[in-house]
Amino acid sequence: MRVLGVDPGLTRCGVGVVDGAPGRPLQLVDVGVVRTGADVPLAHRLLAIERELERWVARVQPDVVAVERVFSQANVRTVMGTAQASAVAILVAARCSIPVALHTPSEVKAAVSGNGRADKAQVAAMVAQLLRLDCAPTPADASDALALAICHVWRGAAAARLDEAVARAQHAQATAARLARARAAALAKVAR
């Protein structure tokens, strides 16, 4: 599975691509940061992020896009910019018919480091170790994007299998109920 991880931000939007499957070694495909200037109008910044993410999607052709779920911060201005950049990433994926998964920061930290409260340095060090890199990609947005991709490789596949199993079970229950109703109707006809 190829996962494009997006650590959303207006000034620096981390992008990282990882190939992998649960129980198999991970492979770094590419990593980078989309940058926009704080002095550029918001609409132009969002457009620049959109265009760059479209280039990434076209070039790496991911199976899924994993985006950090926006959470409330004390700084409303920061969370708004993060939410706007996140929406752009989701829109780009939807336009390309690529599934999107949202992961919380603590979920990503726990998946990568085993500790949902790990700091950025711990996450970056684990990303480097898991991808067999000499050092963690910088800035932190790049490492965070790779951590999102890794989290989805490990957790997303399991979640998809669980969702599929639940869907199969629900279908089997619905089929059994339909057959029971048909049987009851047939017996009622015979009894008349």
Structure-model confidence comparison of residues 126 and 165, the more confident one: 126
| Confidence at 174, pLDDT banded by 50, 70, 90 | confident
Mean pLDDT, range 70-98, rounded to an integer = 89
Q: State whether the Cα torsion 122-19-57-163 is positive or negative.
A: negative
Compute the distance between CA of residue 83 and CA of residue 190 in angstroms, rounded to an integer: 63
pLDDT value at position 74? Answer: 67
Indicate the range of 16-30, 40-54, 149-163 predicted with least confidence: 149-163
What tens digit of pLDDT does each residue of 39-82 get? 999 999 999 999 999 999 999 999 999 999 987 666 777 889 89
Interior/surface letters 48-62, b for 16+ CB within 10 angstroms, e for the rest: bbbebbeebbeeeeb
Q: What is the mean pLDDT of the chain?
A: 91
Considering 19, 50, 52, 141, which one is annotated as catalytic? Answer: 141
Q: Which of 7, 50, 52, 144 does the annotation list as catalytic?
A: 7
pLDDT at 181: 87
19 given a catalytic annotation: no
| Domains in the chain, CATH or no CATH each | 2-164 (3.30.420.10)
Stronger pLDDT, 135 or 174, i.e. the higher one: 135
What is the rounded distance in angstroms from the CA atom of residue 18 to the CA atom of residue 89? 17
Can you give the pTM of this predicted structure?
Answer: 0.82
Report which of 149, 183, 118 is spatially closest to residue 15, judged by C-alpha positions.
149
pLDDT top residue among 158 and 185: 185
Query: What is the pLDDT at residue 167?
Result: 60
Nearest CA-CA partner of 107 in 158, 57, 58, 169 = 158
Q: Has residue 124 got a pLDDT over 70?
A: yes
Q: Which member of 19, 50, 68, 144 is catalytic?
A: 68
7 assigned to active site: yes
Report residue 153's pLDDT band, with 50, 70 and 90 as the boundaries. very high
**Is 63 a catalytic site residue?**
no
